[in-house]
Amino acid sequence: MAIIITDECINCGACEPECPNTAIYEGADDWRYADGTDLSGNVVLPGGKEVDAEEAQEPISDEIYYIVPDKCTECKGFHEEPQCAAVCPVDCCVPDEDIVETEEFLLKKQAFMHPE
């Protein structure tokens, strides 16, 4: 499952540089699928959605840091545990019970965004 940042976030920013997929953004900042990945142009995501990787997307939150679920792999393929949760001083980076993904799918997303 993806990780979410709860409203207990204190906007310290410790999580953002730790994300290997650049899936974490400061509140109110636009985001792109291409940010921090090898994606460019029109792509079909592993879940089947077609997107322009370089097109700016609306912020998920205007107030606190947020994680883009389509880019979150829980650090699978990079680390043993989600790095955002490991560094969060207030433990507000938690699994999103609404977005359950298998380890196989998370690794597929990671390989898609960062092909070898």
pTM: 0.95
Per-residue model confidence (pLDDT) at position 79:
96
Question: Residue range 43-67: average pLDDT?
Answer: 96
Span 5-21, pLDDT tens digits: 999 999 999 999 999 99
Per-residue model confidence (pLDDT) at position 26:
97
| Extents of the domains making up the chain | 1-115
Per-residue model confidence (pLDDT) at position 103:
95
Contacts of 21 (CB under 8 A, 6+ apart): 36, 37, 71, 72, 73, 110, 113, 114
Long-range contacts of 52-55 (CB under 8 A, 24+ apart): none
CATH of region 1-115:
3.30.70.20
